Structure 1
């Protein structure tokens, strides 16, 4: 490619500079390459081809830059959504952790009640029920205390039906002290199950939170890298007149070098 073609296909210039360069094309051809005056058609075709190729390259770069910017925008949106999702999973884990602490405390309190009830029952109590009134009183005591434990969350709702039906270890004939021990043991067993379920729920929530954090971090890094690539591919938008002046200076320098040769 000759010097004139190189000058024309470089950075774009304002219309006035392009017009002046087209008007002075014969002189430029002569100054840039004396061989071009012997074959002006060939030189013109080469220049037009070079301009067309540079235009195609410029459009390709612009399209690639647009795609890179679009990709960076989409990844940024995905990263923001992933960060929000990680924040929600963090809240879920915090709630599960608080529930675990509560369940553990409830289980410890129930275990303490078992020891207290066992100490009271160790003194011994009369087993036989002498009158119907005494049996009715023990039955009412059992039902009332089981219902209270269910309302406090210390027993499942099914415990009340079992106590009324007299199944699964519930016996209204027992003395009130022994009934307290039965209730305390049943409550401790139930709250231990609740604690174990809370342990599993907290572990699952932590696992999901960790995955969400890693996904958010990966997308954040990808978004930063995509933004850097998009910025590097974005066209530099400077002042067109300044670029045109720089082009004229560059051509003048090439002319002086050609003349000195």
Structure 2
């Protein structure tokens, strides 16, 4: 047997033997490529498909997150509308009650204990407004501490001051609602962009695997076509 092989390789030029080995390797590669997708020689899984499936799963989770962010943004928009409506109502009430103070009040000697009654009135009304969220806790603390508040004013004047405070509180709440809405919009846009990016990468991964493999096979077929093999001497 060894003598036969020695005679064979002695008769065939070395270059021809190299071409035969290349053709044999190409035949093995084509046979492996003809296997169903997801199957490789030796049971190795299709890495391209696995990567694409991972991206698709991540895109599905990101889509759920984007949906929640969209709902949060819609709720934030509703909160902005509600805060603006509350501010407009507070502003109108403050304007209407403030017009009542345009006329001077009659000056008279106060009854004994009247200042105490006025202070109680201020505290009671301020507490009710805070319970209805028309005043903040900080504003209520200022009222009880008499920081910027005169408890001896006439109830009409106190009511006007309280309504101005309500208007300020409602406008501050509106500004906070606008900030939250903008943050929710940025979050929704970022989540949507993540979904778009993951879906694009998954689609590219799906196309890249089979396309790259076909291109490689075509290139090898063009490079090592039997018609272009050198003629053995």
- TM-score w.r.t. structure 2 length? 0.72
- Deviation by residue 1:168-209 (Cα, 9 ceiling, x = unmatched): x21111111101110011111111111111111111211221
Cα offset for 1:151?
A: 0.8
Match of 1:118 in 2: 98
Match of 1:55 among 18, 21, 28: 28
Match of 2:180 in 1: 201
Unpaired segments ≥5 residues, structure 2: 1-7, 35-39, 215-233
Match of 1:186 in 2: 165
Cα offset for 1:215?
A: 1.8
The secondary structure found in structure 2 opposite 1:162 is helix
For residues 112 and 121 of structure 1, what CA distance do their matches in structure 2 show? Answer: 15
Cα offset for 1:83?
A: 0.9
The secondary structure found in structure 1 opposite 2:194 is helix
Match of 2:146 in 1: 166
Match of 1:215 in 2: 194
For residues 129 and 83 of structure 1, what CA distance do their matches in structure 2 show? Answer: 72
Cα offset for 1:82?
A: 1.5
Match of 1:74 among 49, 54, 64: 54
For residues 142 and 107 of structure 2, what CA distance do their matches in structure 1 show? Answer: 21
- Deviation by residue 1:199-256 (Cα, 9 ceiling, x = unmatched): 1111121122112112212222222232334465799xxxxxxxxxxxxxxxxxxxxx
Is the Cα–Cα contact under 8 Å of residues 150 and 156 in structure 1 kept in the other structure?
yes
2:111 is equivalent to residue 131 of structure 1: yes
Aligned residues: 197
For residues 203 and 218 of structure 1, what CA distance do their matches in structure 2 show? Answer: 23
Match of 2:125 in 1: 145
Match of 2:231 in 1: none
Q: Write out the 4+ residue segments of structure 1 that deviate beyond 4 Å after TM superposition.
A: 42-49, 56-61, 126-129, 230-235
Structure 2 CA distance for partners of 1:227 and 1:49, relative to 1, 3 Å: closer
Cα offset for 1:156?
A: 0.6
Match of 1:102 in 2: 82
Unpaired segments ≥5 residues, structure 1: 1-34, 236-261
Structure 2 CA distance for partners of 1:87 and 1:43, relative to 1, 3 Å: same
For residues 115 and 33 of structure 2, what CA distance do their matches in structure 1 show? Answer: 95
CA-atom RMSD in angstroms: 3.2
For residues 150 and 49 of structure 1, what CA distance do their matches in structure 2 show? Answer: 88
